[in-house]
Amino acid sequence: MRMLLTLLLASALTACGFRLVGSGNWPMALDKVYVDMPLGYRVSEPPIETALRSKLVRRGAKIVTRPDRATAQIRLSNLDERRETLSIGADGKALEYRLVIGVRYELLQNGKTVLAPDTISVSRDYSFQLDQILQKELEEEQLRDYIQNELAELVLLRITTGLAALPVPATEPAAPSGPAPAPAG
């Protein structure tokens, strides 16, 4: 009975179109990817860059260390983080903030732009209490990492969707294999 129920559930999930993340058709253009994020001086990789690399690897791409060895180059730039005050208490201190993080991305192949540069941003609101300042600073840092992970997922989704929407290059028709027909006349 348990086996029958498992088979029924599995067939229902596949019939409705359910599939695991990363189990679709992976674009050939993303087989070997170079991720580029020019930020000038930095001590460590931004979480969005790390998350994008790991998501690419989980989906079957190989990350290369030089752009000349890549089939595609994902360029991330203009990483913008800002904190906006949403509400202020009677004492004039902030009670709520909105954390907004945005990034610009583009896809290149052989140095040519395949998908035009686009910007995407994600925002999340959170409350702030002065008597819990250490906890709230940790919460903000975790929220920042979460948003950058979400941004990486959205960038990858937009790139794969954009690649799927590109026209397939036309192949030249195969030459006939037999002798050429004689002209009528």
pTM > 0.75: yes or no: no
Q: Is residue 4 part of a domain?
A: no
What is the residue-level pLDDT of the chain in tens, covering all 185 positions? 777 667 667 677 666 655 555 455 678 889 999 999 987 666 778 899 999 999 999 999 999 999 999 999 999 999 999 999 999 989 888 889 999 999 999 999 998 999 999 999 999 998 877 677 767 788 888 999 999 999 999 999 999 999 998 886 554 444 455 555 555 55
Q: What is the CATH number of the domain that holds 119?
A: 3.30.160.150
Query: Domains in the chain: how many in total?
Result: 1
Q: Is residue 52 part of a domain?
A: yes
- What is the chain's alpha carbon radius of gyration, rounded to the nearest angstrom? 24
Q: Where are the beta strands (DSSP E) in the chain?
A: 32-36, 62-63, 72-88, 94-109, 112-127
Q: Is residue 5 part of a domain?
A: no
For residue 113, the cross-strand partners are: 108
